[in-house]
Amino acid sequence: MPRIYTLNDVGNSGGSKLGNPPSNRYPPSRLELEEQLKKDREKFIRSAKQLITKYHVLDEKNKCMQNDLDHSHEENEQLQNDLDHLHEENEHMGALHSLVPFYCKLVFQITCEQKSHADLNAKQLKEIESLKSKNNLLESSVSSTQKILFLKDSEITSLEARINELEAELERTAQKALLDEGAEAKDSDT
């Protein structure tokens, strides 16, 4: 049912004395809504696919980096074992002083490598979490858009049913009026 505006409503609308332009009073047509939904859905799907692809690429990079980190840890352990073995041998030989700078340098290199791998891992984990968050946001947006479209479709269906009822009632009223006119014409003839 259309809303009826009084002069008080028009004067207090905050806009012009004549109220809002008529184009703002009418909702978009079903075709426009469906077209917009299709565009939005395609945009969301495209964005979601891009995010998923980027997630998989980053996940693959993360796995490679994890493998490199594991390999580095293994090498570090091997180096540490070698250093320990050298340390023991040097203790026995009494030449420990010549290996101390080398040992310190290796420990420093190992520490630096572990730190850089940990920093890279943390950075990628943050990026993955960010992508997951964006993906969840897109999924909820698509879901809410689909719910809105469903509500609009059900409203359109109920309005179409109401129009059909009103048309049938109008037709019955017109037939009744024609019958009443016919009866009055017969009465006036007699």
Q: Which fold has domain 31-151?
A: Helix Hairpins (1.10.287)
pLDDT at 7 over 70: no
Taking only the tens place, the pLDDT of each residue in 154-163 is 787 888 888 8
User: What does the pLDDT look like over 32-66, one tens digit per residue?
Assistant: 889 999 999 999 999 999 999 999 999 999 899 89
CA distance linking residue 52 with residue 58, whole number of Å: 10
Spell out a b/e string for 132-169, using b for 16 or more CB atoms within 10 Å of the CB, else e: eebbeebeeebeeeeeebeebeeeeeeeeeeeeeeeee
Dump pLDDT digits (tens) for 126-161. Answer: 888 888 888 888 888 888 887 777 777 778 788 888
Q: Which helix (H) or strand (E) holds 163?
A: helix 96-189
In 3D, which of 77, 108, 81 has the Cα closest to residue 89? 81
**Closest to 47 in 3D by CA, of 173, 136, 146, 159:** 136
Strand, helix or coil for residue 56: helix
Name the pTM for this structure.
Answer: 0.29
